[in-house]
Structure 1
């Protein structure tokens, strides 16, 4: 509580200031998402020994969050904008994002109706903002639970970019492009923990397309660790040297249905550790990891309130340590039924099944899905029941 008490007077001041000027607006927004999750084979700490478990979790589909978003009309088609957003657990009330007050986003900028938008601060990159809506995971209907292994393609908004400057063009007949640079903030080490991200998207009638690129340059040496750079160490899932992610996808809507396909490729050089749901796995030095994710998904609205959806993802992985070469493959199927009581409140049932082959017995490559203990072996089944409210 000591962390957030100073926040509330500041929030009240922001709201008062927004109400004082007709040309300004400030919006309080957020999501509360709480789910009960059954896992059939959760690890017990003993190799190969698993037990079923039931637990309550926050953020089954959408990470629970709250934020303040504001605009000020400056005239001539120009506006000042800001967004301050933090995550929390709806299961226990604790702040997430390592107790940062605005750990998800914190930026200010200018928006022009003629040219586009420039922002400064902590923001999401294009993989999670522009590509993931075409996927089941992330902003897609399956959300966090449908993430690809280790969130290797940064599609579920697990990672935000610090010290960033970002430009998004205006929408030209459905086409939009953007670029983002996150500074290292390290004197003499301009490329030590910097982020470069690019994105483009197109939407016209039933067709939606998107492509994105993301690169994190950092040093794998503990002696050169830069904690003030563009990537927070608490956000990073796979640690080490350079990280590159490419992705492209499309979705076609027809009537009450839609189908989508997404491909992403990610590579991690000089990997030192990887974070799974079972904790951090130390790997050692001079290791390389690569992932190719191939996902097909579909959704059908039975009524305006009830939707049924399913997806299948094949993740083709490669691990090279110099002495060990493995090619683990993840097969993951997701099925969901969602019922909307209103535009803001819905109830969902979701089932997920994952099988991993070629993991060589490494615990790192056991079956593992978002926010639950990993399996004791290469298979895991989750049954989820949750409720989500937006405000």
Structure 2
């Protein structure tokens, strides 16, 4: 009989098996993050409130491996999001809403994982975007229109990630909608290619999210969820949404610079409430500076523009500028200030595609919770973050 011991070492929960041929371990980890946030131009006016996970989303997770011998391991991850301000789950009705998967990893053949997980598109491009690099969720692209934030998670998915060869890693994923009588509806496909070598980090990614049969406001039973905001409210009845993006980052000592471009297309069919493909192109530049003190400074500029379609000649565009100032007490704990301001111009479709309206500013999605009643919006937050 194999006996197992559980130990707490450096904040990790270790499970040590009695058999040398099958060593296993489980690590517990997490982030606790909360901020006081002020947002203006909301429908009821300006609001100051306590915001959970303003810089990095709160989470409690478990990672595990078991050595099966010959360079092969069984792996798993369970990760739950939660709200620090009131202790509730990050997503109602879901326990491990951020990740719940199991798989096999082999040093020669790569990694195969199955369950609820992020797509290769996200895995490759999120580290090069504004969320981990500069300003957290307050600095993501308007309405997270291109999925660089953590709003797209995929159920019923199978993902393969190759071994890294000379800095290059490839990955592919497919997720099923699993709706009876609607084979092929609500599925997701994604692929990515990334390169990491020395100071350079670059990636390109693709994903396709397919709507389900309850198409009008994006079928909740589709394999993948995504951001809903004033930026895309008129196009939620799309047959599918296609994402293509690329990003790069260069790090030299205390300085880091980078940028990204993305193209997102909301494509219509006969059941859609709009007729022409809605296209959103986004370009972004980022910079960080780790000063000689514990202060880390960051800045980001984003420009998003929609195409002229669906009877709109003055297409919407969004300009955003974001800042971060973080003081690190240690490698795990920090206090931070984040600021973001955005201006929207042009016209877009209202919810359901019923009519044309003036575009409203929307700083991120997880911060303000709603868009501005006008073309401008500013967010300022000060918070405390600890990881374990």
**TM-score, normalised to structure 2's length?**
0.85
Aligned partner of 2:99 among 105, 120, 124: 105
Q: Distance in 2 between matches of 1:84 and 1:92?
A: 22
For 1:315, the equivalent position in structure 2 comes to 304
**Structure 1 residue 222, shift from structure 2 partner:** 4.3
**Structure 1 residue 220, shift from structure 2 partner:** 6.1
Q: Distance in 2 between matches of 1:134 and 1:377?
A: 30
Which secondary structure state, in structure 1, belongs to the residue aligned with residue 125 of structure 2? helix
CA RMSD of aligned residues (A): 2.7
For 2:194, the equivalent position in structure 1 comes to 201
Question: Any gaps of 5 or more consecutive residues in structure 2?
Answer: 1-11, 351-355
- Given that 1:271 and 1:289 are in contact with CA atoms closer than 8 Å, whether structure 2 keeps it comes out as no
Cα distance change, pair 331–225 in 1 and its aligned pair in 2 (3 A): closer
- 1:20-169 aligned at under 5 Å gives the runs 20-21=17-18, 23-44=23-44, 51-137=45-131, 139-169=132-162
Moved more, 121-130 or 17-26: 17-26
Deviations 1:50-97 (A, max 9, x none): x32211101112111111111101010000000011111111111012
Aligned partner of 2:256 among 250, 258, 273: 258
Cα distance change, pair 170–120 in 1 and its aligned pair in 2 (3 A): same
Moved more, 97-106 or 365-374: 365-374
**TM-score, normalised to structure 1's length?**
0.84
Cα distance change, pair 387–230 in 1 and its aligned pair in 2 (3 A): same
- 1:156-305 aligned at under 5 Å gives the runs 156-187=149-180, 189-219=182-212, 222=215, 228-232=221-225, 235=226, 237=228, 239-240=236-237, 241-270=239-268, 284-286=273-275, 288-303=277-292, 305=294
**Structure 1 residue 254, shift from structure 2 partner:** 1.4
Which secondary structure state, in structure 2, belongs to the residue aligned with residue 292 of structure 1? strand
Deviations 1:235-268 (A, max 9, x none): 4535321110000011111121011010011011
Deviations 1:144-168 (A, max 9, x none): 1111122111111111111111000
For 2:337, the equivalent position in structure 1 comes to 349
Question: Any gaps of 5 or more consecutive residues in structure 1?
Answer: 1-14, 45-50, 273-282
